[in-house]
Amino acid sequence: DAKTTQPTSMDCAEGRAANLPCNHSTISGNEYVYWYRQIHSQGPQYIIHGLKNNETNEMASLIITEDRKSSTLILPHATLRDTAVYYCIVSLDRGSTLGRLYFGRGTQLTVWP
Amino acid sequence: GAGVSQSPSNKVTEKGKDVELRCDPISGHTALYWYRQSLGQGLEFLIYFQGNSAPDKSGLPSDRFSAERTGGSVSTLTIQRTQQEDSAVYLCASSLPKLAGGPPETQYFGPGTRLLVL
């Protein structure tokens, strides 16, 4: 049960911002939103995570709506190397020490020159 | 260590044979996870080790699958009597321990082992 909904695929021109949406309408108050990506033939790579506030790091920005039912991952200046499957994950944290993550199908982002 | 390593990179086996897949986590990471990724699919959780606690085996698809973690470091995933549907990429990840009430720690993934059962 991935608890998230993402578009199957998206395209983006190199140098443009890539905005990847994710719906998580059943998210509960203590659950975090995580983003990982998987470049072809590699293991997944952590990008960013957040709880309520918007977050930014050297890779991306995460915008979470006020009701927390959806979020958007923003890659400000997409490059060809950003072509990958992007997974939006809601951590099934309910105060436990269980750190497992549920990966859905993700969004295949293709950046074209 | 430099990162999570897995061996072998690729494994081709015949139906009915047993296989062992190895994972070397990042030094100091007490949490270790195994996932499986079938062609064109997302990641499927298999098993989770955290320190000396009993592992969470809830994701193992059948009793042909087992895993152990010796000395709190290296882990081996064993598949007995392999079937063609076991063909997949088996990914291992490690992380620092998660604190109760806090977010899951970042998981660092290895490159995976590509298993093909003929």
- Spatial distance between the Cα atoms of B7 and A58, rounded to a whole number of angstroms: 31
pLDDT in tens, A22-62: 999 988 887 889 999 999 888 999 999 998 989 999 999 99
> In this predicted structure, which of A68-72, B71-75, B86-90 has the lowest mean pLDDT?
B71-75
Verify whether the Cβ–Cβ distance A32 to B104 is below 8 Å: yes
With contact defined as beta carbons under 8 Å apart, do A54 and A73 qualify? no
Cβ-Cβ contacts under 8 Å, B46 against chain A: none
- In this prediction, residue A16 has a pLDDT band, given cuts at 50, 70 and 90, of very high
3-state secondary structure of B28: coil
Q: Pick the residue from chain A with its C-alpha nearest to B56.
A: A98
Q: What is the token pair recorded at A51?
A: 């709880």
- Chosen for mutation from A53, A97, A101, A107 (greatest number of chain B CBs closer than 10 Å) is A97
Verify whether the Cβ–Cβ distance A93 to B105 is below 8 Å: no
DSSP chain A: ----B--SEEEEETTS-EEEEEE-TT--TT--EEEEEE-TTS--EEEEEESSS-EE-SS-EEEE-TTSSEEEEEETT--GGG-EEEEEEE---SSSS---------EEEEEE-
Verify whether the Cβ–Cβ distance A44 to B105 is below 8 Å: no
- Annotate B54-88 with b (16+ C-beta within 10 A) or e (fewer): ebbeebbeeeebebebeeebebebebeebeeebbb
Residue bearing the bigger pLDDT, A97 or B72: B72
Give CA A101 to chain center in angstroms. Answer: 13
Please compute the mean of the pLDDT values over residues B3-32 and round it to a whole number: 95
User: Mean pLDDT score of chain A, rounded to an integer?
Assistant: 89
Cβ-Cβ contacts under 8 Å, A30 against chain B: 101
pLDDT in tens, B33-80: 999 999 877 888 899 898 888 888 888 999 999 999 988 799 999 999
Q: How many CA atoms lie within 13 A of B117 on its CB side?
A: 18
Q: What is the pLDDT of residue A32?
A: 87
Q: What is the pLDDT of residue A1?
A: 52
A94 pLDDT exceeds 50? no
- Spatial distance between the Cα atoms of A14 and A48, rounded to a whole number of angstroms: 21
Q: What is the pLDDT of residue B67?
A: 96
